[in-house]
């Protein structure tokens, strides 16, 4: 059974704002307890560490574990978790699997096999519920055992830290996103600002107490653009941390 997304607000006051495909922002640098894994998303010192191992026939084994070495226990926080799930071509998420561990410890590796060209869903949270989620391309993850801090592909897909102020949008016959528009979706923009930039509201893929993932139709080369938003706390605004063409 999938854990509830509802986490008591008392647990979220000191939440750390996660940065995708890099050391989570606001947290101390994470040294992987296992070679090749990189930090993907974090909450209160607990980190989801992930990597991919290519297989034959265009398939990949995606692996994740929960690193709780910086996670402080407490009421309703006797365990922490990381996890992953498959993302279908219609962006339905299924086959959730989890790595659960105690504060100060490292959880076991959990994994799923999926197409190398697919997206993968990754999460982090407490033993009570899911707090933050992201959806990223499988190919953006580091190769297991590579020992790299972050893959070159991930770096090129990461949202820029430079903001671009959304300007007025002319009406057009189709609500889809061009590559030029996506480049204007920069780190720190809120969902309403993204809508003004791309001219489309998008659809929610998944959401948790401190995160939101939306997809927007592409004008070419595929089904959708994926944008991940995260919050610095349960009552803070959601802001872009990454986007993928």
Tell me: do 133 and 72 sit in the same domain. Answer: yes
Tell me: do 149 and 204 sit in the same domain. Answer: no
Strand order in the sheet with 93-101: 93-101, 80-87, 119-126, 130-137
Alpha carbon dihedral 173, 177, 178, 182, in 10-degree steps, equals 150
* 57 Rama sector, left if φ>0, alpha if ψ -120 to 50, beta otherwise: left
Residues 6+ apart with CB under 8 A from 204: 212, 213, 214
- Model confidence over 50-91: pLDDT tens digits? 999 999 999 999 999 999 999 988 887 899 999 999 999 999
Q: Which of 57, 36, 33 is nearest to 46 (CA)?
A: 33
The H-or-E segment that residue 153 falls in is helix 152-157
Q: DSSP label at 178?
A: -
Tell me: do 121 and 191 sit in the same domain. Answer: no
Mean per-residue pLDDT for 113-129?
94
* Residue 172, domain member (yes or no): no
- The parent domain of residue 240 ranges over 179-244
- Model confidence over 19-30: pLDDT tens digits? 333 444 334 455
Tell me: do 50 and 117 sit in the same domain. Answer: yes
SS3 9: helix
pTM of the model: 0.79
The beta strand positions in the chain, using DSSP E, are: 38-43, 46-54, 59-67, 80-87, 93-101, 110-115, 119-126, 130-137, 203-208, 211-217, 224-230, 239-244
Tell me: do 224 and 152 sit in the same domain. Answer: no
Report residue 38's pLDDT band, with 50, 70 and 90 as the boundaries.
very high
Tell me: do 72 and 118 sit in the same domain. Answer: yes
Tell me: do 15 and 132 sit in the same domain. Answer: yes
Tell me: do 145 and 189 sit in the same domain. Answer: no
Inform me whether the pLDDT recorded for 152 exceeds 50. Answer: no
Question: Which two three-digit tokens encode residue 134?
Answer: 């992201």
Tally of domains within the chain: 2
155 or 174, greater pLDDT: 174
* Residue 136, domain member (yes or no): yes
């Amino acid at each position: 059974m999938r854990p509830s997304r509802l986490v008591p607000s008392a647990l979220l006051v000191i939440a750390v704002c996660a940065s995708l495909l890099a050391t989570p922002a606001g947290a101390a640098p994470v040294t992987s307890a296992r070679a090749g894994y990189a930090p993907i998303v974090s909450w209160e010192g607990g980190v989801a560490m992930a990597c991919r191992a290519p297989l034959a026939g265009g398939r990949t084994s995606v692996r994740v574990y929960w690193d709780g070495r910086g996670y402080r226990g407490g009421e309703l926080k006797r365990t922490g978790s990381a996890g992953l799930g498959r993302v279908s071509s219609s962006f339905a998420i299924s086959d959730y699997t989890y790595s659960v561990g105690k504060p100060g410890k490292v959880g076991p590796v959990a994994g799923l096999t999926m197409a190398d060209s697919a997206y993968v869903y990754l999460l982090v949270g407490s033993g009570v519920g899911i707090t933050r989620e992201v959806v990223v391309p499988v190919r953006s993850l580091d190769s297991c055992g590579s020992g790299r801090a972050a893959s070159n592909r991930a770096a090129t897909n990461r949202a820029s830290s430079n903001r671009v102020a959304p300007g007025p949008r002319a009406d057009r016959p189709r609500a889809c996103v061009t590559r030029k528009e996506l480049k204007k979706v920069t780190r720190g923009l809120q969902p309403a600002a993204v809508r003004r930039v791309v001219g489309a509201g998008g659809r929610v893929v998944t959401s948790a107490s401190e995160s939101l993932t939306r997809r927007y139709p592409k004008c070419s080369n595929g089904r959708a653009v994926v944008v991940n938003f995260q919050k610095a706390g349960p009552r803070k605004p959601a802001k872009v941390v990454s986007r993928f063409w």
